[in-house]
Amino acid sequence: MARNVPIHTSPPLFSFPIRMSPFLPKSLRLFLPAVLPLLLQLNAGAHPDKVEDRLLIHFATGSTPIQGDTWEDLTHGVKARVMGQPKLMNIGPAQALVFNGLSDWLLAAPDAATAKPVLPVREMTASAWVRFNDMQPEGGLCGFIQDNGSFEKGWLLGYDQAHFTFRLASSGGNKDGDGVLTNLISKSTVKPGPWYHVTATYDGAAMRLYVNGRLEGESRDQSGDILYPEAGKLTIAAFADSNELEILDGALLEVKTYGRAMPETEIAAVVERNAGLLAWQGSINDDLQFLVRPYLQAASATGMSIMAETNRPAAMTVEYAEIAPLTLTASVPAGTTSISTISLTGLKPHTRYFYRVTSDDGNGNIARGEVKSFQTLPGPADAWAFGLLGDTQRNPDVTRRCADGIFALRPNFMLHVGDVVDDGFAKQQWVFDLFAPCSDLFSYVPVFPVIGNHEKNSHWYYDYFHLPDPEYFYTFKCGNAEFFMVDSNKDVSPESEQYQRLEKALAASTATWKFTAHHHPCWSSDNDDYGDTLKGKPGEPFTLGEPQLQPLVALYEKYGVDIAFAGHIHSYERTWPILNMAINQKKGVRYIVSGGGGGNLEKASPQRAWFSIHVQSGHHFCFATVQDRTIQFKAYDLEGRLFDTFELTKAADR
């Protein structure tokens, strides 16, 4: 059987009714329902995802939906009017908003009064990720400007026919009363096709222009506060003043402004994190290319799914066999998406197969992968093993080391406990920060994920992973175990659909081992995610884990779940077996938090939690082997050093 991946729409990020644990104070139970969705979305509090300093405007494609002709930015401070019909399109590894150069642009504020709250005063930064189809003599990416004869006020991050430009007028440079604009021009030339990162800064004394992280222009002709006109428009993807409108013919991935001058080191760090996007040059002579090389999904004892993404829609064929030559084939035609899936069925259990993927656009252009191999999942009598990784987010070097460490141990499959990327709507992060560093591992070893909060319920999660319906919740079997994969962003109260699905599946399971996985932890001794254990805050409770997941604890105890895996906290923690709020070595449920795949690290409370047996702050990965009624579990740091392990043999009555 073979199929193409459908295009998914994105459901609301938080669509569930929030129910509070009865263990929380009444005042908090009344307060949290109003604010918890926002807190979860922003990862507020002490979780290591910081709100950017003096961020004024932040538009990023896919992150917030365009509603009619209105697009609200990520700060929720600007609602831009969408002029024309710019289109959201895949351009190489990125999904960007494409402007036609004629009628498509964004009116972020129609007048000075509306724009004033988000206009920088004395210091500023404006940055953009842009790709040009064509370039005009005078164009704009973002700005509020009037440039009419001798009347010159405001600022504009823009471009001409071959360069990036930054224009700005200030009180210190106002020699004639009408303002004087200084125009910085980049040293390097700019051309249509590649992606560029451009940044303009002003610190009240100097203007600077950076292209792809390099300083390419500097001037000290301006000083003091930025000099604004009394009338004007705040625009994106256009240069607009009282008598001109020049519109971008190209694509924008992101536009940001700040009320501070960003230092060169910070700009360089942004560029370094997106090096793969800058390196992408598009195909030469319209060649067909893999954006995401073939990888494995939806493994079972008798089947395997193989996925790949090309730079445009293409038919895909998989050749496969137990031994060379590869005499068996399965194909899917080109679809409306560049991501293709072929599901192989009727395979032998616990058997190695060799495979090769070929994509064909029908115009004589072919992309062909290397010969790789996979193994179907083992049966109930076989020994088997799996890897565990979480919170890779956006640290490809660490993620690569974790992936290589897991692959070196040769697992049958891998669990990923969520936050696979930092921003689920940023397509380039999937390509460069997840699939590129995990390419070898994923081409030989299937991965089973759960969704985290950083995926933001983006369609990319459902497009890139081939999961059983309803996708946010699913189960699978390996050997003598069954895994129950839960979306902890959604409602898990006893009345919820997901809870009832989970309970039905647990009740029906006859597996020797029952494992669950979800992103947020039921139990955690983190020092500040669930109450500030360092300094304390008035009235703040200590929940020792996600309050909304308390119903799962009772469910796991009722049906004898052996281990519940989670992430979210960027450290490692293993609990004692827990039953009825106490340690029970015979019938308790063990909880393991493994969030060390790349995210900024966190630490445990300075006081030991009653349930915790081992905590460690550090990037890491885990590995488990299972044979009959015995499991051996190990945790390794990036150097491959073992820092925690246990072995458990289940009693006959468990």
Q: What is the pLDDT of residue 641?
A: 98
How many CB atoms sit inside 10 A of residue 434's CB?
A: 27
Q: What is the pLDDT of residue 47?
A: 53
More confident residue, 336 or 601: 601
pTM over 0.95? The answer is: no
pLDDT bracket for residue 175 (50, 70, 90)? confident
Residue 614 predicted with pLDDT over 70: yes
CA distance to 172, 321, 377, 512, 596, per residue, from 445 (Å): 62, 17, 10, 23, 20
Q: What is the pLDDT of residue 538?
A: 82
pLDDT bracket for residue 406 (50, 70, 90)? very high
**Residues 6+ positions from 157 with CB-CB distance below 8 Å:** 126, 127, 128, 140, 141, 142, 143, 164, 165, 166, 198, 200
Cα 511 from Cα 2, distance rounded (Å)? 29
What's the burial of 283, exposed, middle or buried (CB within 10 Å: 0-12/13-18/19+)?
middle
Q: Which tokens is 508 given?
A: 């029906």
Q: What is the pLDDT of residue 92?
A: 84
**Residues 6+ positions from 187 with CB-CB distance below 8 Å:** 216, 217
Q: Which tokens is 51 given?
A: 């709100």
Q: What is the pLDDT of residues 363-383, one digit of tens each?
A: 889 999 999 999 999 999 999
pLDDT bracket for residue 283 (50, 70, 90)? low
Using the structure block, give the residue that is written with the tokens 């440039």.
147
CATH fold, domain 285-376, is: Immunoglobulin-like (2.60.40)
**Residues 6+ positions from 31 with CB-CB distance below 8 Å:** none
Q: What value does the mean pLDDT take over residues 408-434?
A: 96
Q: What is the pLDDT of residue 286?
A: 66
* Nearest to 88, CA basis, from 253, 315, 241, 286: 253
Residue 578 predicted with pLDDT over 50: yes
Q: What is the pLDDT of residue 246?
A: 94
Cα 273 from Cα 275, distance rounded (Å)? 6
Residue 300 predicted with pLDDT over 90: yes
Residue 18 predicted with pLDDT over 50: no
pLDDT bracket for residue 14 (50, 70, 90)? very low
Q: What is the pLDDT of residue 22?
A: 34
Residues in the chain: 654
Q: What is the pLDDT of residue 652?
A: 79
Cα 133 from Cα 5, distance rounded (Å)? 29
Pairing of strands 315-321, 352-360: antiparallel
Residue 31 predicted with pLDDT over 60: no
Q: What value does the mean pLDDT take over residues 147-161?
A: 94
Q: What value does the mean pLDDT take over residues 283-293?
A: 80
Characterise 575 by phi-psi region: left (phi > 0), alpha (psi -120 to 50), beta (else). beta
CATH 2.60.40.10 segments of the chain: 285-376
CATH 2.60.120.200 segments of the chain: 52-279
Q: What is the pLDDT of residues 44-65, one digit of tens each?
A: 334 554 578 999 999 999 778 8
Q: What is the pLDDT of residue 336?
A: 85
Q: What is the pLDDT of residue 285?
A: 53
Q: What angle do CA 438, 450, 513 make, to 5 degrees?
A: 105
Using the structure block, give the residue that is written with the tokens 């006109």.
229
CA distance to 297, 334, 342, 347, 509, per residue, from 1 (Å): 14, 16, 7, 12, 27
Cα 268 from Cα 283, distance rounded (Å)? 26
Q: Does the domain at residues 52-279 carry the CATH identifier 2.60.120.200? A: yes
Residue 619 predicted with pLDDT over 80: yes
Q: What angle do CA 548, 550, 553 make, to 5 degrees?
A: 145
Q: Are 598 and 405 in contact (CB under 8 A)?
A: no
* Nearest to 380, CA basis, from 516, 298, 508, 481: 481
Mean pLDDT of the chain: 90
Q: Say if residue 470 is preceded by a cis peptide, omega within 30 of 0.
A: yes
